[in-house]
């Protein structure tokens, strides 16, 4: 079987991948940060690029929005292109007032009510860990670069909770699980990595918060102003 959503030669993709949801963010990263960036995928306009950062070969490609979409792209990267490390870099909503707009969150694990784990692994687990080794590199690099980050549980939602209240779901989260940010992909990414025995982690910048009025990032800001997170990810995987 051949991949049908990412179509390129195997050697065109690095073993380390940055995975933003927005393909235009992938283009932005490639053009601003990678040397000799080459377009390696444009199927369905899901733009992907490979280049070097400080001499290290890196691929950055969009994943789309939601668990099913990230599941497809992560699976193809791991299964068909010998990728062994993926860091999702995206935006998220604040789950607590202690996390502010533009703060960076590193996902220690992800919790979701999604049935994705059962569909892909026949598992009923709702909490899935990210890569300890990737997280350690990111945490160490954040201290070195003096880029503050929060480290905790991410809640992965199947609806965009900025538009639709999901308090009925939040209220049923087990007491010992205390998410600090909400997004739509990490749970799926972590399960695909677990299924294929590979590594995955998730860095997100807070773009929305119901605790801070009139401060949400615009569409353009989400696309172009997440540079601290991008630099942290790049520096972490080249260290």
**How would you write the pLDDT of the chain (239 residues) with one tens digit per residue?**
889 999 999 999 999 999 999 999 999 999 999 999 999 999 999 999 999 999 999 999 999 999 999 999 999 999 999 999 999 999 999 999 999 999 999 999 999 999 999 999 999 999 999 999 999 999 999 999 999 999 999 999 999 888 888 888 888 899 999 999 999 999 999 999 999 999 999 999 999 998 998 888 888 877 666 999 999 999 999 87
Residue 232 lies in a domain: yes
Residue 4 lies in a domain: no
Catalytic residue among 161, 208, 216, 227: 208
Which residue segment(s) compose the domain that 188 sits in? 10-238
Instruction: Report yes or no: 233 and 89 within 8 Å, Cβ to Cβ.
Output: yes
For residue 89, report the phi and psi dihedrals to the nearest 5 degrees.
-125, 115
Residue 126 lies in a domain: yes
The pLDDT of residue 60 is: 98
The pLDDT of residue 104 is: 97
* CA–CA dist 23, 29 (Å, integer): 10
Q: What share of the chain is helix, strand, coil (3-state, %, to 5)?
A: 35, 25, 40
Q: CB neighbours of 104 closer than 8 A, spacing ≥ 6? A: 142, 147, 148, 149, 150, 203, 204, 205, 206, 228, 229, 232
Residue 5 lies in a domain: no
What do you get for the CA distance between the two ends of the chain, in Å? 35
Residue 3 lies in a domain: no
Q: Residues 25, 131, 179, CA angle at the centre, nearest 5°?
A: 75
* CA–CA dist 82, 76 (Å, integer): 9
Q: Give the chain's domain count.
A: 1
Whether 22 is catalytic is: no
Residue 1 lies in a domain: no
CATH code for position 67: 3.40.50.1580
The pLDDT of residue 136 is: 98
Residue 164 lies in a domain: yes
The pLDDT of residue 171 is: 86
Locate tokens 């569909």: which residue?
119
Residue 2 lies in a domain: no
**pTM for the whole thing?**
0.95
């Amino acid at each position: 079987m051949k991949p049908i959503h990412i179509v390129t030669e195997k050697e065109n993709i690095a073993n380390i991948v940055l995975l933003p949801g927005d393909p235009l963010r992938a283009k932005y990263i490639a053009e601003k940060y990678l040397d000799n960036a080459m377009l390696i995928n444009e199927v369905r306009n899901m733009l992907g690029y490979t280049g070097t950062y400080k001499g290290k070969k890196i691929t950055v490609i969009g994943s789309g929005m939601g668990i099913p979409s990230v599941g497809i792209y992560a699976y193809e990267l791991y299964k068909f292109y010998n990728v062994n490390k993926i860091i999702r870099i995206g935006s998220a909503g604040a789950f607590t007032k202690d996390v502010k707009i533009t703060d960076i969150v590193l996902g220690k694990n992800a919790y979701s009510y999604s049935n994705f784990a059962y569909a892909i692994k026949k598992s009923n687990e709702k909490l899935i860990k990210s890569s300890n080794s990737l997280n350690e590199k990111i945490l160490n690099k954040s201290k070195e670069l003096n880029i503050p980050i929060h480290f905790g549980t991410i809640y992965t939602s199947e609806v965009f909770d900025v538009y639709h209240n999901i308090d009925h779901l939040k209220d049923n989260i087990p007491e010992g699980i205390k998410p600090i940010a909400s997004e739509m992909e990490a749970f799926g990414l972590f399960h695909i990595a677990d299924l294929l025995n590979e590594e995955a982690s998730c860095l997100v910048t807070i773009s929305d918060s119901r605790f801070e009025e009139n401060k949400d990032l615009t569409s353009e800001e989400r696309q172009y102003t997440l540079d601290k997170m991008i630099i942290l990810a790049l520096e972490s995987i080249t260290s």
